[in-house]
């Protein structure tokens, strides 16, 4: 009798521990840890918000991966979707034990759901994937194999455009084992394979809330902390989509002051973390060319209302005064140098006239 009683007590204690664990890993809105949580080499983290019907294509591409299901998991974070995406994710998790679905109230931007997915991962690597894109069927296996073989911290896989989406083809002309910092810094998009320990050890997370270029802020920090960053260009790994409905974050209206604030944060990361002052200055100059001067492309600038045009000039003037020294300005081409002079002078009328002349080919 005493033995039977002890058995019942042990069983009850084990059941209590199981129920406690279940409450911890299966909170409301969370399907719980995937079957691959302890064995996955890579966690694919997907923030989801109203991405149908494209979400179904992404999930299909994840199901078609030729990697052993025990070696990868999908962590999809539904950020308050109001379309059918939540149900599609639940059906996906039901038929794919290596998937986990977490539902949360809408946070307004991808930063928080990506952080939630990252916190749920224990894999060696994480890969941040957008809900409206697709992966090639060999993508995960080939990326992980390369990163493990060569001890890579940050891996840029070859991306191709989908639906007319433009990509930086020149970046993916060839595989680079030790890619120069200035080479990879042209790509601040989140679609990278990243060693999770790099993020954890350095406390790197996505800014949360409505922060423009939140992915660029994280990726720039990763580049500066990475021991080895590589470009892998031997396969079409990732298909980046241009959405017909204009649902890409990048297609939403841009607030000049908020946007330049994010560019400023990236410039600070480059300036403070670069191996030397010259490299830091060149990284910031490249950033200025890509993220600031592009707003003064004649057709684009002409589409802004006059008050918005003035706001861009004022926001950029503060950036130039802080980061773009006269020596750096001299490394700009003639047109960009003249536009920079107009920015520094806060000369809105001059900029309008100059861009109009450029549009006429003058």
Please state the three-class secondary structure of 81-106 as a single string.
Answer: CCCCHHHHHHHHHHHCCCEEEEEECC
pLDDT above 90 (res 3)? no
**Are residues 111 and 79 located together in one domain of the fold?**
yes
Q: Is the Cβ–Cβ distance between 217 and 265 less than 8 Å?
A: yes
Residues 45-75: tens digit of each pLDDT: 999 999 999 999 999 999 999 999 999 999 9
Nearest to 212 by CA among 259, 275, 163, 148: 259
Listed residues 250, 278, 308: the one ending a domain: 250
**Are residues 244 and 271 located together in one domain of the fold?**
no
Whole-structure pTM value: 0.88
List Cα–Cα distances, 324 to 88, 217, 296, in angstroms. 48, 19, 17
Listed residues 198, 221, 250: the one ending a domain: 250
For residue 218, what is the domain's CATH number?
Answer: 3.90.550.10
Residue 181 in tokens: 């910092």
Instruction: Give me the pLDDT at residue 182, please.
Output: 96
Instruction: Give me the pLDDT at residue 183, please.
Output: 97
**Are residues 20 and 124 located together in one domain of the fold?**
no
Name the residue with higher pLDDT: 131 or 24: 131
**Are residues 130 and 35 located together in one domain of the fold?**
yes
For residue 19, what pLDDT band results from cuts at 50, 70 and 90? very low
Residue 243 in tokens: 């959405």
Average pLDDT over residues 274-288: 97
**Are residues 194 and 238 located together in one domain of the fold?**
yes
Instruction: Give me the pLDDT at residue 22, please.
Output: 38
pLDDT above 80 (res 105)? yes
Domain containing 154: what range? 31-250
**Are residues 200 and 264 located together in one domain of the fold?**
no
Average pLDDT over residues 279-285: 98
**Are residues 229 and 282 located together in one domain of the fold?**
no
For residue 165, what pLDDT band results from cuts at 50, 70 and 90? confident
**Are residues 233 and 283 located together in one domain of the fold?**
no
For residue 163, what pLDDT band results from cuts at 50, 70 and 90? confident
Question: Which single residue is written with the structure tokens 């396969």?
Answer: 235
Task: Calculate what percentage of the chain has a pLDDT beyond 90.
Answer: 85
For residue 259, what pLDDT band results from cuts at 50, 70 and 90? very high
Average pLDDT over residues 78-96: 95
**Are residues 238 and 95 located together in one domain of the fold?**
yes
**Are residues 52 and 98 located together in one domain of the fold?**
yes
Number of domains in the chain: 3
d(CA 263, CA 191): 19
**Are residues 128 and 243 located together in one domain of the fold?**
yes
Crossing angle of helices 256-273 and 214-225, rounded to 10°: 0
**Are residues 91 and 51 located together in one domain of the fold?**
yes
For residue 245, what pLDDT band results from cuts at 50, 70 and 90? low
């Amino acid at each position: 009798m005493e033995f039977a009683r002890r058995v019942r007590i042990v069983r009850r204690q084990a059941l209590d521990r199981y129920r406690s664990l279940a409450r911890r890993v299966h909170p409301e809105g969370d399907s719980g840890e995937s079957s691959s949580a302890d064995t996955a080499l890579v966690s694919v983290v997907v923030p989801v918000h109203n991405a149908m019907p494209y979400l179904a294509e992404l999930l299909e591409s994840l199901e078609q991966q030729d990697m052993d299901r025990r070696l990868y998991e999908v962590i999809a974070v539904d950020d308050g979707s109001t379309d059918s995406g939540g149900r599609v994710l639940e059906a996906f998790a039901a038929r794919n034990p290596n998937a986990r679905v977490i539902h949360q109230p809408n946070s307004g931007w991808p930063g928080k759901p990506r952080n939630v997915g990252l916190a749920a991962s224990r894999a060696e690597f994480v890969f941040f994937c957008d809900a409206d894109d697709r992966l090639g069927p060999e993508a995960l296996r080939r990326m992980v194999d390369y990163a493990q073989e060569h001890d890579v911290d940050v891996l840029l896989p070859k991306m191709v455009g989908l639906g007319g989406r433009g990509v930086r083809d020149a970046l993916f002309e060839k595989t680079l084992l030790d890619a120069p910092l200035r080479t990879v810094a042209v790509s601040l998009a989140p679609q990278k394979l990243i060693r999770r320990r790099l993020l954890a050890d350095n406390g790197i997370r996505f800014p949360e809330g409505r922060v423009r270029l939140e992915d660029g802020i994280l990726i720039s920090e990763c580049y500066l902390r990475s021991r080895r960053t590589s470009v892998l260009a031997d396969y079409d790994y990732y298909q980046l989509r241009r959405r017909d409905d204009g649902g890409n974050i990048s297609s939403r209206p841009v607030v000049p002051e908020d946007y330049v604030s994010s560019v400023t944060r990236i410039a600070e990361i480059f300036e403070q973390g670069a191996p030397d002052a010259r490299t830091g200055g060149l990284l910031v100059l490249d950033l200025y060319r890509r993220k600031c001067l592009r707003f003064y492309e004649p057709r684009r600038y002409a589409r802004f209302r006059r008050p918005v045009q003035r706001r861009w000039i004022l926001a950029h003037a503060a950036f130039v005064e802080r980061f773009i020294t006269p020596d750096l300005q001299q490394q700009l081409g003639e047109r960009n140098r003249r536009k920079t002079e107009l920015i520094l002078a806060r000369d809105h009328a001059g900029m309008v006239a100059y861009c109009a002349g450029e549009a006429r080919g003058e």
